[in-house]
Amino acid sequence: MSIFNDTQIAFQDKSTEQLKKAYWMFKTIEQPVITDLGIKILNFTVHNKFPFVEGIVRKTLFEQFVGGETREKSMEVVKQLFKSHIGSIFDYAIEGKEDEVTFNHTCEEIKQNIKFAQGNPAIPFVVFKPTGFGRFKLYQEVQAGAALTTSEKEEWSRVRNRYYEVCKLAHERNVVIMIDAEESWIQTAVDDLVNEMMAEFNKEKAIVWNTIQMYRTGRLEYMAEDLKRAENGNYFIGYKFVRGAYMEKERERAAEMKYPDPIQPTKEATDQNFNAAIDFVMAHLDKVAAFFGTHNEKSTELVMDKMKEKGLVNDDPRIHFGQLYGMSDNITYFLGAQKYNASKYLPYGPVKDVVPYLTRRAQENTSVAGQTGRELILISKELQRRKNR
């Protein structure tokens, strides 16, 4: 029996009407064929600026998975979550644009998030996506060791400068900055930049945090190398641990290009790898701080058990938990009620601009075994509880 089954705690901030709407939406997402067709129609209608679509998206997917159109408008959600001891991680959820104007705008947006988060315990982290700061193909060329043209070298220098400016500001304002993970064929280029920033700005504590996808092979070995670098360079490490989100794409590319599959062979192997990461953190708390981004109840409870074994208080500043806004409230709200460091990833952005994020979230819900079914069971249980009281 799961300890995360108290739906009264999980849905304390949701009205019955909101729960019914969420149930209908997860029921729709549960059908892969309907989801795929819906995504194609949605992308087409948004691209062609159909006037009524924005309102529909706003009242459905946007309301469920996004905090608001701006960070200021998202503050209502932030304050509500913090009443339940749950932090918010602002995630500027604009994806799919690859021009210098957008990259500069995103960089400025992240800087504003850092300033906004300074001194506010309700916003414990700020996050950015590497491809929000530079072109995917450029990362790919850098990782492959390709000869860059003069203009590409200048472009890469601008990418590095965006990382530097953001991490420097985070250090000055004492705000933790997390860098999201990407596909394996650009992740090493990302890791190299993040390690450079860690060495520069993590001298007193972990301010810059990298993301490790535990569905990948070789990550434990990578972390061991990271630890050696940190010990030699006398700096701290921060990690966000996730299982991962690009499995099908990774496997297809590996097969097509005939290199070893970088993904763990089974779900069980991924779970074991994630659990091994928990042990790694617990063994190196003198150097490593961690954010466990997971919707997996067993992994979450395992972290809690290991903390108890180590005699750590629930809100030890080196251990954090997080789930996506609109999902797994049963985990987040339980952790908040027990005064663990719990947070929600809180995306924000204009409705039309966050559609790529929303469609990706819908597809991930469909592909993660059991995720949508769990949401439906919990919502049904809470609706029944309210009906019977």
Query: pLDDT digits over 272-285, tens only?
Result: 999 999 999 999 99
- pLDDT digit string, tens, across residues 70-104: 999 999 999 999 999 999 999 998 777 799 999 99
Q: Taking CA 94 as the corner, what is the angle to CA 252 and CA 100, rounded to the nearest 5 degrees?
A: 95
What's the chain's average pLDDT? 91
Separation between Cα atoms, residue 321 and residue 307, nearest integer Å: 12
Structure confidence at residue 357 (pLDDT): 76
Helix axes 150-173, 136-144, angle to 10 degrees: 100
Q: What separation in angstroms does the CA of 264 have from each of 224, 268, 329, 375?
A: 18, 9, 28, 26
Q: What separation in angstroms does the CA of 319 have from each of 151, 177, 240, 307, 338?
A: 42, 15, 10, 9, 14
Separation between Cα atoms, residue 361 and residue 375, nearest integer Å: 14
Separation between Cα atoms, residue 254 and residue 222, nearest integer Å: 20
Above 60 in pLDDT, residue 34? no
Structure confidence at residue 247 (pLDDT): 84
Give the rounded percent of residues in the chain with a pLDDT score beyond 70.
Answer: 91
User: Helix, strand, or coil here: 145?
Assistant: coil
Give the rounded percent of residues in the chain with a pLDDT score beyond 90.
Answer: 77
Structure confidence at residue 37 (pLDDT): 60
Q: What is the 3-state secondary structure (H, E, C) of 172-220?
A: HHCCEEEECCCCHHHHHHHHHHHHHHHHHHCCCCCCEEEEEECCECCHH
Separation between Cα atoms, residue 291 and residue 276, nearest integer Å: 14
Separation between Cα atoms, residue 243 and residue 246, nearest integer Å: 10
Beta carbons of 320 and 291 less than 8 angstroms apart: yes
Mean pLDDT of 234-262: 93
Backbone dihedral region for residue 170 (phi beyond 0: left; psi -120 to 50: alpha; all else: beta): alpha
- According to DSSP, the residues that pair with 324 across neighbouring strands are 345
Q: Where does residue 121 rank: exposed (0-12), middle (13-18), buried (19+ CB within 10 A)?
A: exposed
The 10 Å Cβ neighbour count of residue 328 is 24
Above 80 in pLDDT, residue 57? no
Beta carbons of 367 and 248 less than 8 angstroms apart: yes
> Which stretch of 36-50, 52-66, 250-264, 352-366 has the lowest confidence by average pLDDT?
36-50
Separation between Cα atoms, residue 145 and residue 57, nearest integer Å: 42
Above 70 in pLDDT, residue 46? no
pTM of the model: 0.92
> Which stretch of 126-140, 202-216, 341-355 has the lowest confidence by average pLDDT?
341-355
- pLDDT digit string, tens, across residues 330-352: 999 999 999 999 999 999 998 87
User: Helix, strand, or coil here: 237?
Assistant: strand
Q: Where does residue 152 rank: exposed (0-12), middle (13-18), buried (19+ CB within 10 A)?
A: middle
Above 80 in pLDDT, residue 39? no
Give the pairing of strands 86-92 and 237-242. Answer: unpaired
* Residue with more model confidence, 65 or 128: 128
Structural domains present in the chain? 1-63+359-389 (no CATH), 67-348 (3.20.20.220)
User: Helix, strand, or coil here: 323?
Assistant: strand
Structure confidence at residue 35 (pLDDT): 58
Beta carbons of 53 and 42 less than 8 angstroms apart: yes
The 10 Å Cβ neighbour count of residue 307 is 18
Mean pLDDT of 23-30: 82
- Residue 231 pLDDT level (bands cut at 50, 70, 90): very high
The 10 Å Cβ neighbour count of residue 223 is 22
